Structure 1
Amino acid sequence: MPQYAPTPPAPAARRGTTTPLARLAVLGAAIALALTAFGHSGAAADTSFTFNGGGWGHGVGMSQYGACGMASQGKSYTQILSHYYTGTTVSSRTEPSNLRVLLTDSSTITLTTAGSTTISGVGTVGSGKTINLRRSGNNVVLSGAVSATVAAPLTVNQSGAMRISPPNNRFDRGHLVVRTTPGSSTKLRAVIEGLSTRDYLLGLGEMASSWPAEALKTQATAARTIALVHAGSSGDHDLKGYLDGAYIGYDMAAISGTTYFAKWTAAVDATAGKVITHNGTPISSAVYSSSSGGRTENSENVWYASVPYLKSVDDAADSGCNNGRNTWSSTFTGSQLGSKLGIPAVTSISVSGPNTPSGRTDKKTFTFTVAGGARHNFTGAQLRSKLGLYSTKFSIGGSIDSGPVRPPSGSLGDIRAHQGRNILVAGRASDPDGTPTMFVADVVNGKTDWHLFDSSNGYFLSAFPASPGKHTTCVAVLDNPTGAATMLGCRDTVIK
């Protein structure tokens, strides 16, 4: 049965023969109005896309939740590490004794003292003082509890847990050195220097200290390996406190509490000097992430280099320890996706690219078809960043297709008066992506009517009532699923 839309106001009737250009204008305007009136299925705002995923982080190397799960099953820390880092063993090495950890590069840095604090070029200040630092040329300008201008570098020796912001954590080990940031005319660089490996590890906030002891030992050993490999850098720091490991200093003890921090301390001490080696050499990439979602990934499928000890392994234990990110889902409407990606509302998504052992999509290409038919490509890695997803291990449910959207095709067979005051339209129409919808716009005496109906088995045939007068009738086929129109033709018909 034909469907009818409400009739909107229309321009005055056009006299004489309707030109092809006018027919196109009639059809285009009618389609735009009718799809809005009908809330046609091609409207992206009505389409939902669900990202079904697993894991949190890059998924290469050790899974922290997996390590916790394996430890809960009775595995030792050496067994856990050899599982995640293929072909490796745990060996003894001399620990570095003077690590330098970069905390921040910032235009302003605020210090809050917690004891007697000595500042180079200034002197000693007491506890509970707030001091603001900013840069002026090659100098550090101090304000707040202290007013001074000191040539960089500035050295601060604290006797308590001094708060440094950013990163807004407290630090009681080593001492602070503030330099000018290379390549910047406005920023200062804050680095904690003089840390022993043990001091560094005790301030590392990477794993819940309430977890099993063997899991904590894996974290201590992986982090020690990273520190050993990076120690002695030719630059002004060895480690980045926000990238190589979440170095939060004294706050690790404060957050953990006395009992659990004692567990973390015991894990650090029990593994003293232990690092991960491959063919007798400490591994250069002891990478880890929070959760793999059930299987880790080959390094080359997430980054670029193929690393012999960073291979995909089963990670069934990742679901243990109350892991809330082993599986997850996020749902977006087409308009929400468009807003986040900086494109028009999305109507369909197709995906292409290599499959990986764990289902990671870092290097897959997702093609987003938007209202109007244009297409925009994003990698899985880009989608994770732009959409705020937990990982690149995801598939998309809702309206995802196995390949690019293909346009419909058809031909107009007949438009004519039929059985009195009716107009019949007939022809061929097909769409490789599903059943296409036929759209008819009919104009008579300045009034436009719309008709929508589905084709059947590659053909369409429909009749609708028509008032007396000269009718201009246009037929288009609407793409499945985007709703984009392909015009098949227009004809004039007189109804008496």
Structure 2
Amino acid sequence: MSIPIHLKRFFLLILISTSFIIILSLALVGFGEGSGNVVKSIIPRFLMKSNDIAFNENNVGVPKIKVYITKENRVVEMYLEEYVRGVVAAEVPVEFEIEALKAQAVAARTFALAHMEEYGGKKYKSNTGANVCDTVQCQVFTNKDDRLKTWPASKREEYWNKITEAVKDTSGEALVYDGRIIDEPLFFAVSGGKTENALDVFKDNKPYLKSVESPGEEAAPKFKSVVKMSYLEFIKKINAEYSNTDISLLNVRNQIEIKSRNESGSVKEIRLGKTTISGVKFRTIMGLNSTNFKIKFNSSNVEISCTGYGHGVGMSQWGANAMAKQGKNYKEILQHYYSGVEITKMK
């Protein structure tokens, strides 16, 4: 007896569906000992399942740290790893490579430990009693609810799990130099191809904060920037800080001179009439993105073009991401940007 065509199609559909379910199940659980997990070998863990763990005494959260929350004007005590998760969420784009996020997690944790007295550190200077604050005065921190609001609804779980993964996989790890937790694990957004010596920027000769190459950051949104202003505004900004420069509209072109540059290419000293100041100070006066700048005097305005964004000392966040894209792991990234350090699991 022949089977009607519509029944044949029905049975074929069932067969295909069953086969798909069996194959998918095998992929998820593995095809046998030694075969590995096919899907997990391809898809990152933060896409496979929720990693929104609770950091506490039983789950690598200890110790606790006191954080001053500026908008609430109060001190909140939280587990260290929870704090680190909030710093990573605030400080770097979540779209970065996971190894770059791990590097940021270790740097953030190191900063926190360096401000905790039980680890030989000192609280940040304030009258709040907190170890750290949640602004750039320390390092930026945001809580989960506030960060989720900034992400597309369809990406929130994936993104939060990715950050959690970076923190969890580096739990308790910190940067150590000569047997001590480093007290200045500085980082910034974008370099101009090379980081700065701490001595050149902050007059502090930290042995682990030396100038290093940092290529591959050209894709960063603030890699290049330009500030334009009228001659009057330019002179006004200078005179607001230094009244004896004798700079005027008649002589301004001849009274501004870049005297020297650091090995990174950033401006070390610049002459403003009778006064010579640091490139760091000039950056502050003019509101520039970096000290790696050039000045051009146009017919109707002064044009200052910058390369990079931030103070330039320590780890470049976009440089870290470039290294991660090249296959470097977070330890290689950290030991590149922080000279002579070790990554140690704290007890």
- TM-score (structure 1 length as normaliser): 0.40
Q: Describe the SS at the equivalent of 1:364.
A: strand
Q: Which residue of 2 aligns with 1:272?
A: 171
Letter of the 1:389 counterpart: L
Structure 1 gap ranges (5+): 1-93, 105-163, 166-189, 369-374, 400-496
Distance 1:95 1:296 in 2: 33
Cα distance change on mapping 1:281 and 1:253 into 2, 3 Å: farther
What whole-Å deviation, never above 9, does each CA across 1:474-494 have from its counterpart, x for those lacking one? xxxxxxxxxxxxxxxxxxxxx
Distance 2:293 2:217 in 1: 16
Residue 380 of structure 1 pairs with residue 279 of structure 2:
yes
Residue 337 of structure 1 pairs with residue 234 of structure 2:
yes
Distance 2:257 2:150 in 1: 43
User: What value does the CA root-mean-square deviation take over the aligned residues?
Assistant: 2.4
Q: Determine which of 136, 143, 155 is the counterpart of 1:249.
A: 143
Q: Determine which of 239, 242, 251 is the counterpart of 2:132.
A: 239
Q: Which residue of 1 aligns with 2:76?
A: 193
Q: Describe the SS at the equivalent of 1:209.
A: coil
Residue 203 of structure 1 pairs with residue 86 of structure 2:
yes
Letter of the 2:139 counterpart: G
Distance 1:96 1:264 in 2: 18
Cα distance change on mapping 1:225 and 1:306 into 2, 3 Å: same
Q: What's the CA shift for 1:248?
A: 1.9
Residue 219 of structure 1 pairs with residue 104 of structure 2:
yes
Q: Which residue of 2 aligns with 1:262?
A: 161
Q: Which residue of 2 aligns with 1:101?
A: 67
Distance 1:304 1:367 in 2: 21
Q: Which residue of 2 aligns with 1:328?
A: 225
Structure 2 gap ranges (5+): 1-59, 241-247, 299-347
Cα distance change on mapping 1:383 and 1:272 into 2, 3 Å: same
Q: Describe the SS at the equivalent of 1:211.
A: coil
Letter of the 1:208 counterpart: P
Q: Residue 61 of structure 2 contacts residue 82 of structure 2 at CA under 8 Å; is this kept in 1?
A: no
Q: Residue 101 of structure 1 contacts residue 241 of structure 1 at CA under 8 Å; is this kept in 2?
A: yes
What whole-Å deviation, never above 9, does each CA across 1:364-396 have from its counterpart, x for those lacking one? 13224xxxxxx4544322221121110111122
Q: Residue 96 of structure 1 contacts residue 228 of structure 1 at CA under 8 Å; is this kept in 2?
A: no
What whole-Å deviation, never above 9, does each CA across 1:91-146 have from its counterpart, x for those lacking one? xxx97522111233xxxxxxxxxxxxxxxxxxxxxxxxxxxxxxxxxxxxxxxxxx
Q: Which residue of 2 aligns with 1:3?
A: none
- For 1:317-466, what aligned pairs fall within 5 Å after superposition? 317-319=216-218, 322-342=219-239, 344-345=248-249, 346-351=252-257, 353-361=259-267, 363-368=268-273, 375-398=274-297
Distance 1:318 1:95 in 2: 34
What whole-Å deviation, never above 9, does each CA across 1:177-235 have from its counterpart, x for those lacking one? xxxxxxxxxxxxx3333211111122220011121101110110100011111113467
More strand by share: 1
Cα distance change on mapping 1:191 and 1:99 into 2, 3 Å: farther
Larger Rg: 1
Distance 1:287 1:378 in 2: 24
Q: What's the CA shift for 1:277?
A: 1.6
Q: Residue 66 of structure 2 contacts residue 75 of structure 2 at CA under 8 Å; is this kept in 1?
A: yes
Letter of the 2:215 counterpart: A
- For 1:75-90, what aligned pairs fall within 5 Å after superposition? none
Identity of aligned residues (%): 25
Distance 1:398 1:96 in 2: 56
Q: What's the CA shift for 1:353?
A: 4.5
Distance 1:315 1:99 in 2: 33
Distance 1:318 1:277 in 2: 27
Distance 2:188 2:258 in 1: 26
What whole-Å deviation, never above 9, does each CA across 1:334-354 have from its counterpart, x for those lacking one? 223113333644343433544
- TM-score (structure 2 length as normaliser): 0.56
Higher relative CO (CA 8 A, sep ≥ 6), structure 1 or 2? 1
Number of matched residues?
214
